[in-house]
Structure 1
Amino acid sequence: MKKRVIATLLCGTLAASMLVGCGGTKEETKAETAGETKTEASSEGGSVYFLNFKPEQNDAWQALAATYTEETGVPVTVVTAASGQYETTLMAEMGKSEAPTLFQVNGPVGLANWKDYCYDLSGSDIYGEITSDDYVLKDDEAVYGIAYLIESYGIITNVDLLEQAGYTVDDIQSFADLKAVAEDITNRKDELGFAAFTSAGMDSSSDWRFKTHLANLPIYFEYQEDGITSTDAIKGTYLDNYRAIWDLYINNSTCDPAELAGKTGDDSRAEFTESKAVFYQNGSWEYTALSEALGDDAITMLPIYVGLGDEANQGLCTGTENYWCVNNQASEEDIQATLDFIYWCVSSEEGTTAMAESMGFVIPFKAAKETPNVFVKQDAANLEAGKTPVAWNFASMPSEEWKNGLGTALTAYAADQTDEKWADVVTAFVDGWATEAALTAE
């Protein structure tokens, strides 16, 4: 079913791109996509068109692409999809005559949708640089995706504000601790001049933090209990814990819960960088912006505690949903140009330095450089201390439609925190999962 939907959308966007092509250029057909650097297509050899998933790294990718073009003469176009709009943008761009030569999927579910467009990377130079097959997506012996970074997310904490409230990070070792600290800050927020949590914005630039990343926690603990890594029928065993952490976020934040539908990712980040809140759920990808605003010494990351498992030994949520795929529908010249570009990114001095320092990435390749990212260092320290990271099981979520249904239910519940509204969240989570899994399997 999902592949039929994609095929239909591709046909529609292809027809639209053919109309544009009568009087437009490659660059003009991409004009509505955010964060774009354009280069003239070379009449000799190939070129690269990278559809980037990560808006927060747009500027760094533009700079790295320009460096590569200056060094090699190969044109590189980087287009960055708007936050929360990657899949929609990818479907639209793949229908154009000049489609991305380099795109990404989020894991096995994403690969199932796009496998027919994925070049086999098993004989490529970049595959030879990967440190473990744990970071690749395979189908039998074919390698269709290679992870280009490992990330962590959790509860980013302003340690200066936390100390002003009378606490240190050592005081927070469990959900009970987090709840006690957050509610105490809320009780004294007028006196302190700041809130416990930033706004849990539920517009498309922010809701993924909760309908995907926060929702990973009950999935992870259910999978751990059942000894599985995916399912067509989630049980929702730990949705009470999901409700408890969601309640904590929305009732101890910078705004009334009823306002969350209109709050954005930028709102939440600004509240944190302007020291209006102690806690901010997000990931290591936010390092550059937060470090520039607050300094490395003022920020750290706590695990997302939900009252489950061995909390004293719980680490950050660490994994990846960023797998590079090369478009097998591109010309041979463009495929080779793209393979050369991504190999250069993970093996050259310029590429590895940019990915470590400008982007703050940990990359799973042999030539990887150490990053100054304090959140990455926190994850490493947790591992050194024997703490267990929480796996990114959200890659097994059945579809974007499932996430959107959950997000809608969470937003409605935030505005009306009744058992009846929470029952709608449970229905979206459990019944919606089964429905979408069945559709995807067709």
Structure 2
Amino acid sequence: MKKWQTMLSAGMAATMLLAGCGSSDGGSSEGGKTDGSKGSVYYLNFKPEQDEAWQNLAKKYTEEKGVDVKVVTAASGQYETTLMSEMGKSGAPTLFQVNGPIGLKNWEDYAYNLKGTPVFDQLTSDAYALYNGDDDVPAIACCIESYGLIVNEKLLKEAGYTVDDIKSFDDLKKVSDDIAKRKDELGFTAFTSAGMDGSSDWRYKTHLANMPIYFEYTDKGINSSEAIEGKYLDEYRKIFDLYITDSTVPGKGLAAKTGDDSRNEFEKGEAVFYQNGSWEYTNLKDAGMNPEELTMIPIYFGVGEEENQGLCTGTENYWVVNNEASEEDIQATLDFMEWCVTSDEGTTAMADDMGFVIPFKDAKKSDNVFVAKDQKMTEEGKTPISWAFTTIPSEEWKNGVGSALTAYAADPTDANWDKVKTAFVDGWKTEYDLTNEK
């Protein structure tokens, strides 16, 4: 039995015991139905930065359709733990997310077959569905996103450069080092803080870690692996070094720095570069930043034909409908999903407020400048960097790499980088074996 199954069984047993001792109201206090005949929706959302937008959208749907929609958002880095806990309760989520085939393995027994449902039929491509055989679709992608280095072009120009001066890692280092060297004169530096707090470290133990994984996979012509060699960890170190030396905050101070800290530094004009994704567009615009002064460039890594490198584009957001929910709740959930990806209210919220490219036929196009940048680069023949990090064997692997990176940031020695390598390579094999044990 897998670790998560043991935890879930224990949670369900506890829930049943409590149910036997307690509630007599005949309904699910957690489901929160307004009308039992209509069913209800409980969506466990993966992305904290979109919580407000989902809460607003749920409220609109309830007002329009009279069907209760409850949205709960897991804390950053705690989604799988929260999902395990919630699935062990009565009134469990009717809709939840997995990050791809690896994440689906834990939950495929709970996945309702979406093949032939209206929301499935809205997909623009079969590539956005996860198949288990020809006629079983346990999960579908709800959005496509891109990430890279968000650039304040106004500050970059004040420093004497444009994005045309940055076409490789060597270019990025030259520009970054120069800006950091003149930070007192300029009034800003190169990078926002590479915060290693749980709200921020996913940018480095997941999104930046994608780069060495992707290039190793590309070399081998594979798209997943039970082991990683760490061929490109030297390049991983070089760019992380840029982040922690040409930064608003010294490496020793990064352990406590949050995602909000990093964004606030960028919004206040304290740094030119901010590693993050298209989902940040609305936050930056709402903070008063001029979209015409913002763009996104690739995370140049010093590998391959960098002049032809695009942004990191893909998804780790696949919707799964809980097949153990009641028939009424499943139907209510399918109706809500279809409304989200076809209605003006739903697609406007997902495209504009959440910053998604929505892979559905009737969806609204986004006005997100980072999305437009990705599309332009792809049209120019640049090769997007695919999201290889969805094959990371476990959240525990990420945590191990994150802890080692935090220690290295505070004391960037060869010995501490060796610990990053150990967490990356040995940790991968260990976690792969644990998560694939019979």
Q: 5 Å matches for 1:273-284?
A: 273-284=267-278
Q: 5 Å matches for 1:94-109?
A: 94-109=87-102
In structure 1, the partner of 2:242 is: 248
Native 8 Å contact 1:26 1:98 kept in 2: no
Structure-2-length-normalised TM-score: 0.96
In structure 1, the partner of 2:302 is: 307
Q: 5 Å matches for 1:21-420?
A: 22=22, 39-141=32-134, 142-293=136-287, 294-420=289-415
Distance 1:423 1:129 in 2: 48
Native 8 Å contact 2:28 2:91 kept in 1: no
Q: Deviations over 1:269-311 (max 9, x none)?
A: 1111111111110000000011222120121111000101111
Distance 2:330 2:253 in 1: 47
In structure 2, the partner of 1:429 is: 424
The number of equivalent residue pairs is 433
Structure 1 residue 45: Cα displacement: 2.7
Q: Deviations over 1:185-232 (max 9, x none)?
A: 111111111111011111111111000000000111111111000000
Q: SS state of the match for residue 217, structure 2?
A: helix
Native 8 Å contact 1:132 1:364 kept in 2: yes
How many percent of aligned residue pairs carry the same amino acid?
A: 64
Distance 2:261 2:211 in 1: 24
After the TM superposition, which of the residue ranges 146-155 and 407-416 deviates more from structure 2? 407-416
Distance 1:24 1:208 in 2: 43
Distance 2:137 2:252 in 1: 46
Pick closer, same or farther for the CA change 1:27–1:433 going to 2, 3 Å.
farther
Native 8 Å contact 1:20 1:29 kept in 2: no
Native 8 Å contact 2:28 2:90 kept in 1: no
Native 8 Å contact 1:17 1:29 kept in 2: no
Native 8 Å contact 1:155 1:303 kept in 2: yes
Structure 1 residue 25: Cα displacement: 8.4
Structure 1 residue 26: Cα displacement: 11
Distance 1:8 1:208 in 2: 27
Pick closer, same or farther for the CA change 1:92–1:185 going to 2, 3 Å.
same
Structure 1 residue 245: Cα displacement: 0.5
Q: Deviations over 1:152-194 (max 9, x none)?
A: 0000011111111111111111100100011001111111111
Native 8 Å contact 2:248 2:270 kept in 1: yes
Native 8 Å contact 1:356 1:372 kept in 2: yes
Pick closer, same or farther for the CA change 1:26–1:308 going to 2, 3 Å.
farther
Q: Deviations over 1:68-100 (max 9, x none)?
A: 111211111111111221111111111110100
Q: SS state of the match for residue 284, structure 2?
A: helix
Native 8 Å contact 1:217 1:242 kept in 2: yes
Q: SS state of the match for residue 225, structure 1?
A: helix
Structure 1 residue 358: Cα displacement: 2.1
Q: SS state of the match for residue 325, structure 1?
A: strand
Pick closer, same or farther for the CA change 1:260–1:28 going to 2, 3 Å.
farther
Native 8 Å contact 2:189 2:272 kept in 1: yes
Distance 1:282 1:235 in 2: 26
Q: SS state of the match for residue 324, structure 2?
A: coil
Distance 2:295 2:347 in 1: 24
Q: Deviations over 1:343-385 (max 9, x none)?
A: 1111122222221222221101101211110000000110111
Structure-1-length-normalised TM-score: 0.95
Unaligned runs of 5+ in 2: none
Distance 2:207 2:149 in 1: 11
In structure 2, the partner of 1:33 is: none
Q: Does 1:10 align with 2:8?
A: yes
